[in-house]
Amino acid sequence: MNALSISCLLLGAATLAPAQALPKKTQAEAAAAQRWSELNADRIAGNANGQPITLSDLRRQLAPFVEEIGRGKSDAEFNQAIANYAEEALKQITDRQLGHRRVQGQRREGARLLHRRRHRGDHPA
pLDDT digits (tens, 9 = 90+) for 59-93: 888 889 888 988 899 989 998 998 899 899 999 88
- Residue range(s) defining the domain that contains residue 66: 31-120
Answer yes or no: is 17 within a domain: no
CA distances from 100 to 92, 105, 106 (A): 12, 9, 10
Output the average pLDDT for the chain. Answer: 75
Reported pTM: 0.49
Q: How many domains is the chain built from?
A: 1
Q: Crossing angle for the helix pair 55-62 and 75-120, nearest 10 degrees?
A: 110
Is 53 strand, coil or helix? strand
**C-beta separation of 92 from 48 below 8 A:** no
Tell me, yes or no, whether 11 lies in a domain: no
Tell me the one-letter amino acid at 1.
M
pLDDT for the residue 77: 92
Q: What is the pLDDT of residue 33?
A: 78
CB atoms within 10 A of CB 105: 10
pLDDT tens for residues 37-50? Answer: 776 677 888 888 78
> How far apart are the C-alpha atoms of 31 and 102, rounded to whole Å?
45
Pairing state between β 44-48 and 51-54: antiparallel
Task: Classify residue 98: in a domain, yes or no.
Answer: yes
